[in-house]
Amino acid sequence: MNDFFLWFTTGFRHILNWSAYDHICYIVLLSLVFTTKEWKKLLLLITAFTIGHSLTLALCTSNSIHPPQKTIELLIPITILITCLVTIAKRNSRTKMLAGNYFLALFFGFIHGMGFSYLLKSMLGKEQSLILPLFSFNLGIEFGQLIIVAMVLIISVFLENVVKIKRANYILFVSSMIFIIASILLIERIYDKN
């Protein structure tokens, strides 16, 4: 049970750590367009993302695939930029946006999972079995993601019902801020000398 807790807290702390701000930004983007009444759809979307990153995380840590780290590190902010553009473009036509987001979340989850794998592989060392660490780590990440989702929903309710900001307006503002952050991250990673 101690090993489960160790890997669970590692995943949980990783996702709720400022060093994972790219992942936090992506989860905020996915959550931003949902209302509290649509929590089941949002949970399904976050689960699609988790399934995507869990698959590639398992494949990478078991050495079944070997994606180049620099390429993956470049692709992560690109996934965020694409999601920002889709969210901004379709913020007034939510039905079309929600259907497309499930596919994007699953596909982009594959890329984010490859990014997670570099951290997890460095921590695993000579671990005999990958099943418990992978399961626990992913569960910790999922739990952390759900906390981010809950915070986004609470803030959305506050903005709409107390501050009286229209949903489309704060979606535009938050998506634009995340677009700027992801652009800076992409530029930094393009010009990273390592």
pLDDT, tens digit (0-9, with 9 covering 90-100), for 44-80 = 888 888 888 888 888 888 888 888 888 888 998 999 9
Task: Tell me the per-residue pLDDT of 15-49, one tens digit each, with 9 for 90 and over.
Answer: 888 888 888 999 999 898 888 888 888 888 888 88
Residues 6+ apart with CB under 8 A from 99: none
Q: For the chain, what is the mean pLDDT?
A: 85
134, 116, 140, 1: CA torsion to nearest 10: 30
CA atoms within 13 A on the CB side of 51: 12
Pairwise CA distance, residues 79 & 117, whole Å: 17
Pairwise CA distance, residues 167 & 4, whole Å: 40
Question: Which domain does 140 fall in, by range?
Answer: 2-190
Q: What is the pTM of this model?
A: 0.87
Measured CA distances, 110 to 45, 78, 95, 130, 136 (Å): 14, 13, 24, 18, 18
Residue (of 138, 122, 123) closest to 58 by Cα position: 138
Counted domains in the chain: 1
Task: Tell me the per-residue pLDDT of 148-171, one tens digit each, with 9 for 90 and over.
Answer: 999 999 999 999 999 999 988 999
Residue 92 pLDDT exceeds 80: no
Instruction: Check: CB of residue 3 under 8 Å from CB of residue 136.
Output: yes
pLDDT value at residue 114: 83
Residues 6+ apart with CB under 8 A from 142: 11, 46, 47, 50
Pairwise CA distance, residues 32 & 155, whole Å: 10
Tokens of 125: 């060392």
Tell me which residue has tokens 């949970």.
43
Provide, rounded to the nearest whole percent, the portion of the chain with pLDDT above 90.
30
